[in-house]
Structure 1
Amino acid sequence: MTDETTTNEPTSGIELTPEHSPDRMGELAATAEREGFDVAFASSHYFNRDPFVALSRMAEATETIELGPGIVNPYDTHPVKLASQAATIDEISDGRGVFGIGAGDRSALSNLGYDHERPLRRVLESFDVARDLWAGETITHEGTFTARDASLNFDRRELPVYVGAQGPHMLRMSAKHADGVLINAAHPDDLEWAAERIGEGLDDRPEESEAQSASGQSSGERSDPRESAFESLAFASTSVAADEDVAREAARPPVAFIVGGAADPVIDRHDIDREAAAAVGDAVERGELGEAFEHVTPRMIDRFCIAGTTDTVADRFADVLEHVDGIVVGSPLGPEIEDAIERASAALEDVA
C-alpha cells in the first residue's frame, strides 16, 4: 500500500473469504503474510462469517500485513458502526487497518429488504463521516443516512479508504475523493477503460490543503503518510493451480456470479452472447447454482477471471499491471487454497 517506503513494485493483495472459520482465516492470513502479500482483505457477505471477527483473528495471527474489509457496504450496517469496526481492527493490529467500502451487491441487499438508493452518494458520505470520526470529531450528518452527535470513544485512528468500484461514476468519485480504488475486474480491456475514468477523477481531485479546508480540518491534522497518493488496484478473480483445467474449473462459481451481475455494456465489451449471460443470471437468481455454473462458458472464464497455471497467471498479471498499481488476488484463489496463495505470490513475483 502507499507509505513512506513505497517503491515502484506493484502492491500485492489478497481476498480471503470468511466461508472459513475465524481461526482458519487467521491461518490463511499468516500464510499470505509469509508469502509476501502487502494487504489482506476479508470479504463481506451476510451468508458468511462476520468479516470483522475474521479480521480480528487475522490481526492476531500476523505482524506486518495490512488488513481490512473488502468490501463492506453502508446499507446493511450503519456507516458510523462501520467506522468504529474498522478503527477497532486498526487499533488491535497496531495501525495496519485499511477500509474497503463500496455500494454492495444489489441482489444480496434486496434479499435483506434494503433499497440500493443513491449508491455513489451513500458511499462518499459514509467514508467522509468515517474520516471525521477517526479524527476524533463529534459529527451530525443528514443525508443518505442520519447521525446525530456521534463520536468514537477511543484514540484517533488513520485508515486509508479504498472504494470498490466498477461503473464510471464510482470510479471517478473514488479517484477524486478516496485514497484508492478496488476495481472489480480481471481483464485488461476493463482495466484500461477503468483507468480512463480514474484519470478523469484525478483531474478533479482537490489539493490536500483544499480537501482539509473543505472538511474543516486545519493543515497537518491528517498527516498519515498512507494518504499521500492515490492507488489503483485490480480486485481480480483468480484461480491458480498446477493443472490448467483444474484451475479453470474452480473458476466457474465466481465467474457465474460476476456474469450474473454484469451490466449489458460489460457483456457487450467482451463479445459475450447476451442470451448465454442471461441464462447464467437467471439460474443464479433462482438459486440453481449448479445450473448457473454449467452455463459458464470458456470465454466467460477468460474475460472475468485470471485462471490457469502459475506461468499463465503471471502472464495475465503482467497484462493487468499495464493499467493499475497493483493486484488483489480474489476469490476463488484456486482449488487448494494454500497452494493457490503460494502460486499467486510466485506469479506476482515474476512480474514485480
Structure 2
Amino acid sequence: MDIDISLLDGVIKKTIQTVESSQEQIFEIAESARRERSAIQNEIAEIREEVYAVVDLVDSLDLKYRKSRAMLAMVSRNFHSYTEEHIHQVYKETNDLQVELSLSREREATLRQRRDELERRLQNLEATIAKAEQLMTQIGVVLGYLTGDFSRVGEALETAKQHQQMGLQIIQAQEEERKRVAREIHDGPAQSMANVALRMDIAEKMLKNEQILQALAELQELKEMVRLSLADVRRIIFDLRPMALDDLGLIPTLQKYVQTFEERTGTTAELVVFGREQDIDDAFKTPLFRLVQECLNNVAKHAKAKVVHVKLELQHDNVSLVVKDNGVGFDVIERRNKSFGLMGMKERVQLLNGTMEVASAPLKGTKVMFQIPLKAKMQQS
C-alpha cells in the first residue's frame, strides 16, 4: 500500500498546530486559576484576621452588656434611690450595647460564611489546577511525540512499530520527571520562602512593638527554616546534576550518594569498587552515576529490600556494574515493557554501546548487570 508522505506530513502539522493551541488555552486556564487562587488565599487571610478582631469585640461587648444589664436590674429594684435622668442613662447604655452586640454577632456570622464560601472556591480551584497540570502533561507527551518522531515520518515509518511504544513512554517519563522536579521545588523551597517572607513581616511588627524576645525567637525559627530550605535546594541540585562529580570524581560522589541513600531509606547499602577512576573518560562518569542512581531509586520505590550491594569494576577498556538487592523481586518478562525505569536505563546503556541484563523473580530479589565498553564512542542521540 502506497502512502502519500506529504499528505501525512500536512495532517501532522495541522494536528501539531491544534495541539499547541489547546496547550496554550489550558495554560491560560491554569494561570488564571492560579491568580484567582492567590487572590482568594489573600482574602481568606484578611477575613480570618477580621474574624479574630470581631470575636474579641463580641466578647468585650458581651461582658459590658452583662454588667449594664446587672446595673439596670439594680436600678429598677431601687428606682426611688436614683434620679430619672440616671435611670434613663442606664437604660440607654444597656440598649445601645445590646444593639451593638447584635450587630457585631451578625458581622461575625457574615464573615464566617464568607470565609467558608471562599474555602470551598479554593478547593474547586485546586482541583481545576491539578486537572490542568495533568492535561498539560498529557498534551506535552503527545506534542513531544508529534514534533519528535513524527516530524521525520518518512524515516520513522519503517521502524515505527518497534519504537513507537518505547518513544512515547520515554517522553512521558521525561515529562513526569520535569513535573516532579517542578512540584518538588514548588512544595519545598518555594513554599518555605513564602513562609519566611510572611514570618519576616511578623518579626518586623514585633520589633516595632518592642517585643524583642519574641522577635529574636521568631528570627531563630526563620534561620532554621532557611537552613532547611537550603538543604532542600542542594538535594534537588544534586539529583539533577551532582556538582561533586566534577569536583571530586565518580567514586567519591557514588560513596556519598550511597551513604545518603542508606540514611534516607534505612536500607543497608554497600559500595565496592575495583580499579582506578583515572581509566574512565569524563564522558562516561555522568551516565555511570545515573545508572547507579536509577537502580537505587527502583530499590527504594519497589524492592522493599533490607540490603543492596553495588559493585563497580573499572578496567582499562570496560566497566562492569552490578546492583543487587534482597527485595521482593518481580517477573522480568511481565515488567519488560512496562517499567519506565528499566526502559530509561536500557536506552542510556544503548547510547553507551553497552549491554544490560536483569535477573529477578518474585521473592528472590533483583540483580541488574551492566557491561560498558570504555573505548567505543557513544552513539549520537
The structure carrying a bigger strand percent of its residues is: 1
TM range (shorter): under 0.3
Higher relative contact order (CA 8 A, sep 6+): 1
- Which of the two has higher C-alpha Rg? 2
Higher helix share: 2
